[in-house]
Every structure is written in C-alpha cells, then in structure tokens.
Structure 1
Amino acid sequence: MQRNFYQRNSLSIVFISLFVIALFAQFYFGWKKNNVELQEQGLSTLPLEDYVITGHFIAATFENFQSEFLQMMLYVVLTISLRQIGSAESKSLTEKEEVDREPIPHANAPGPVKKGGWQLKLYKHSLTIAFALLFIFSWTMHLYGSYRNFNEEQIIKGEPSVTLGHFIQEPDFWFETFQNWQSEFLSVASIVLLTIFLRQKGSPESKPVDAPHLETGK
C-alpha cells in the first residue's frame, strides 16, 4: 500500500512541529520574564520583536541546543566501540553488525559511496562531523548570548561591562553549561540501562517484549 507524505515522514514532522511550538513558547514566556525583570529595575520593557536579539534569549536557546548536540555526537561515537550487555541501545558484544561492514557501491547507494576516495572517507563519518559542527556552533552562540546577557545586566546595575576573556573565567557560563551536560548524560545512561529490563511493544528503541534481559541489541 502506497503511503502519503505524512505517513512517510510522520516522525520528523511531529518532532519538528513540537520543537517549533516549544521554541515559540520559550520565546514568548522568556520575553514576559525578561520584561518583568526590567520593570523591577524601573526600566522600559522590550517589544516582542526586540527580544529575539537579546542575550537573555540567545543564551537560553543555545544553552539547550549545545548540550543536545553534544549528547548525540558522543552517543554516535561511543556506541561504535563501547557495549552494554542486555541493552537495546548497544551493538552485539561478540558479533560484527551490518553497520560495521565496508560500504559497497550499488545503484541505490548515496553519491559519495559511488564516487569513493576522499568523499567516501568523509561520508563514512558525516553524521559525527555534522553533530560536532552543530555542537561547536551552538556552544559558541551560548557563550555569545551569556556574555551579552551578563553585560546587559551589568549596564542595568550601573556597573562597567567586562571583556569576553574576563567573562569566560566567571562561574555563570560554566554553571549554565554543566547543568545541561549532566542532564543529557543522565538521559542517555537511563535509556541504555532501562532497556535492559523494561520494554515498549512496537518501539525500535526497545527489545522485543519476550527477549531475555541479557540479550544485547534489538
């Protein structure tokens, strides 16, 4: 039976839709919160369209992005060689798997596989490279947003702004960074360990319901 566009792409459509809704909600309530803080300081509130370029919004947004991309990058890389007995998220402890074999050019293979050479070498690691670049960009934007927000608060307090070199030595940025990283590491550890003993019928992230606890992989 031929499936329509939504059926073929429903997982990505739903998650992108949830992301957009959550981002707009964060933007709106962040704007409200920022204006409350400005009012408490006796300052004029910001119009909605001006909030998007504030350090307050940029820092809060990319603070979350960078930790997610770090999580996915490490997950992709570490699952190449590390194992967890019984986990649906782990490769087999003893056997080679389909993802381990060298790519073979064929009619339906991606372009870099057909071309070979440096393009294939790059393509074989393209997922990790993409997540690494997204992490670096998001981390940089988080740093920029936090730095800008810090100086905006300094101005409100009537204190001098600081240089980026001085700011990066302050605990604020690193507190924001590590409070996100630790939650991402915990969430990955949770799915790795919980899939040893718990099941969800129909989910590709779970082993079959009747699979033994110490059976590794899906």
Structure 2
Amino acid sequence: MKIVDYKNVELLRQEHIVLKNVTISIEEGQFNYIIGKVGSGKSSLLKSMYAEIPVENGEARVLDYDLTTIRRRDIPMLRRKIGIVFQDFQLLTDRSVHDNLQFVLKATGWTDKESIEERICQVLKQAGMENKSYKMPHELSGGEQQRIVIARALLNTPQLILADEPTGNLDPATAEQIVSYLHEIAASGTAVIMATHNLSFVQQFPGRLMRCENKHIILEN
C-alpha cells in the first residue's frame, strides 16, 4: 500500500522554489532516509506531507488525502495519522511525561480515562520508558526525551512517522539506539521517513536512500 505518492510535485517557500519535479512513493513499513545539505529541502519535504507547507503543481497524496485540494478542516485528521519526531523534542516542560502524553490524546479526541491510561502505558512500554512516566522532561537525558517524543508520535497508531534530524542533539551511542528503535517501528509495519546528516546510519541500519540536491530528490537505491 502506498502511504505517500508524489508525482512531479513542486514546493515553494516565500515564492522561492525549494524542490521541483518530486516523484516519490513510500510503501507501508518502508524505512527511508532523506539526506542532503542544510537548506536543501529535507524539512520542507517532510512538512509538505503533513500540510504545513502547501504543495504546488503535480499530484500529491498522503494516506488517501489529496494535498493539492485538502481542506483546512481535514488537516487535523491527516496529522492524527502521522507521527512527527523533532530534533528539539518539543515536550511541554511544565508537566510530567504522563501528562505530556495525556495532553496529546485529549487534544486528538480521546475522552475515556481508562483508554487514555492504557494507551499511555502501551507506548511507554514500547519505548522502554514505562518507569519514567512521573518524571519531568528536564529530569530525563536527551536520549530518554527522544524516546518519549517517539512514544508521543506513536499514540494514535500512525501509518507514517516523519523524523526530522531526530538524533541531531544526541551523543553517537544514544543516536544509534534511536535509529535502531525507528527501524523496529518500520519493521512492525509503520512507514518511516528520517531526515539526517549522518551517513554512517545508512551503512549501519540500511534503508531506502533519497538525496536532496539541486532542488531535486534523487533516489539512490
């Protein structure tokens, strides 16, 4: 099943072309790397997939949503099916791990207290963080915070995880653990697209490789 299907897509930011003639498809459970220099369009490509920046020209579908015609009111529904992992964590610093996750579930329509607690337990266990739910973000290491961010991204059982430089603020050993964990998620059937500068990951944890270069996406394998 195609999770992402772009044909001859063009992406603009402030009327400047960032990427053009983008033709890619992402399959269920596929692990994809996007590499390229700073400013080459990696983040813009990811943001286009959750309708943060508009798609110009061409055809673009993500999870059966047509991004060229998507209505503003449908964007939250699209984003509920996508898990987003940021480099800078973006955890709410004034509340515990548990309350960070609870906030997301309530914001995305969950109302049953028992179901909320059950889902929080499930994703924390999956991330190996079941004993950290009472902690505040500042009490966690960078690697632990990123595991919580991935747990947060998994809350609504997404079909697609977008990870934008998820290891950028981590030491090498912790970064390897996070990439390995993202590969496990892909192996369980969730498509993953990870933007990175670190080519050693590509060798250590093989996946499909896309390069942003000269305003184009080049498929390397």
Q: Which has the higher strand share?
A: 2
Q: TM-score, normalised by structure 1?
A: 0.27
Greater C-alpha radius of gyration: 1
Q: Which has the higher helix share?
A: 1
